[in-house]
């Protein structure tokens, strides 16, 4: 998925640890999203941002924080990881003003033990 990079791709955390996932895009997109994907549940929105310095809660925001200090980066933080946060995390970006195509990162596999 050209243009959207997620780091790290794999991580194992112990309960209570904190970590940050980084989503970076080089397409000057205004809108960026963080989702989690769990078996049988589809992609669920955690937080999103419609521009630099703005963030908003999605469907499942509890236990996560986000920041968008630069337009190209959207960070997802886990404050105190719990086993229920074991999931695959996807970042997506789009620009409504330009073709409205969605671009996804490759996913970040997180396991909390």
Q: Which is nearer to another protein, 32 or 75 (CB)?
A: 32
Separation of alpha carbons 50 and 111, rounded Å: 29
Q: Does 27 sit near another protein (CB under 8 A)? A: no
Q: Does 99 sit near another protein (CB under 8 A)? A: yes
SS3 for 2-44, per residue?
CCEEEECCEEEECCCCCEEEEEEECCCCCEEEEEEEECCCEEE
In the complex, the smallest distance separating the C-beta of residue 39 from another protein, rounded to whole angstroms, is: 10
Q: Which residues does residue 51 pair with via DSSP β-bridges, in sequence order?
A: 54
Q: Using the rule CB under 8 A, which residue among 20, 28, 41, 83 binds another protein? A: 41
Q: Does 12 sit near another protein (CB under 8 A)? A: no
Q: Does 107 sit near another protein (CB under 8 A)? A: yes
């Amino acid at each position: 998925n050209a243009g959207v990079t997620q780091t790290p791709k794999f991580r194992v955390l112990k309960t209570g640890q904190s970590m940050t996932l980084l989503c970076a895009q080089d397409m000057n997109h205004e809108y960026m999203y963080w989702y989690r994907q769990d078996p049988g549940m589809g992609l669920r929105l955690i937080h999103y941002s419609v521009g630099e310095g703005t963030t908003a809660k999605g469907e499942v925001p509890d236990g996560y924080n986000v920041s968008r200090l630069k337009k190209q980066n959207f960070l997802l933080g886990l404050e105190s990881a719990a086993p229920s946060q074991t999931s695959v995390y996807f970042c997506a970006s789009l620009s409504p003003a330009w073709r409205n195509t969605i671009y996804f990162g490759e996913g970040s596999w997180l396991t909390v033990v």
